[in-house]
Structure 1
């Protein structure tokens, strides 16, 4: 297939991820548009390749009518780029082009052939560097996870993103400790139950979890056996009120299906309400776990 000049590797990867969010009918229609119906495609894979090959610039593709505002919004959210829900299409397109020109794409989600969606978190740049750095993975994972989870809070007015059990290992375990007046411990085992309980926090209880991604609020540890622990502290809100703080420790393990694919193996979530904090500062909470405590949590 002819590949016309114009798209950098980063732009091509980004455009591809936006096209993956489109319906099959819209992809076929867009393929007809960019080729003036000169090329007949048989399926969505051919349609995507044709669109990318005949697109002269990333800006041209983002301006296409079939590339709806909501698609660009969802793409940026998956990249960990927060935009106001009422942003206009041209503003979203401008921010997307800025992201691509920086040469770094933080988060992308790929569908593996014949299987559910895998979370793919990788450092990418125009040189194709993918050296593993646990601290970078921790930043990327938290941006992706909380953006995804918060999108299901109806008060934000955002389109809900692709949440589900596909982001967890089948035997994932969730420990949820809540201190709001009284103390309550809940435990859930299995991808379906863990997924449903976590999304209920934002979708049903309308909580908004805001992680503190500064060094005092985020810690990442990598074990020699492939487990990466990501611990993050943050604040919990409902509407305009700050209800308290949380500390969340995730255990992540690479999927053997693909080198840069990670899934959640364990979640330890501790929530403390304002009354349990005794007037302590909540604006940018710090982690209370030390490294040895983190290793014990997810052992």
Structure 2
């Protein structure tokens, strides 16, 4: 996903300072495995934006510390508290940049801002559906409360588990089998699914049949330890017997162990969802 122009301006404001320029230069070198070397901060930022291609992923780099983000945010928004994780600060920094660009949108002659101009992509109805579904699904799934009535009876699952001892793949074709397979995997490894519910971690798309596809990713935990990442695609179909609400029929899961998993997995760095991210993103209400 390309870095928006106003995000690039924000990154310039954050990194092209006397204190942070050395970090910017080193980050550009490490990102290109020292193939590209420059002492020009503008060139270094261009390289980062091109190579990484995702604002959240770029800010998640280890060299951009929590302290750097907090110091920057506190100068822009005095009074911000210190009780934040790095993931929280990244989200708040990006939100600050988004708010700044909205504030600069020209007004209409009657002094109001048109809804279409003011509307951010993350507020599109299809993304709202995706976030609500993700919140609902992972909450009941982590609590082992997923029921047959929550899925279409002919629900399907394609699940791949990549661990240190090999790769396991599983396919199911009924709601009962899907729930059993998901629950067994979670219980076998003691997983807790921590979804990234920001716009960088869960989004909606529309497939060729007019169905909503929810793309989601996050980290896998056992007790207090992060042990890997997950990537999911859910195919939702309206249920006329359930107030025409969206209901999951297709599930695709990747569970992958990692010795040094990221603090917060994002769609931009996913391995299995890139093709699905190219599907259409309607901005209007879904009929």
- TM-score norm. by structure 2 comes to 0.49
- TM-score norm. by structure 1 comes to 0.47
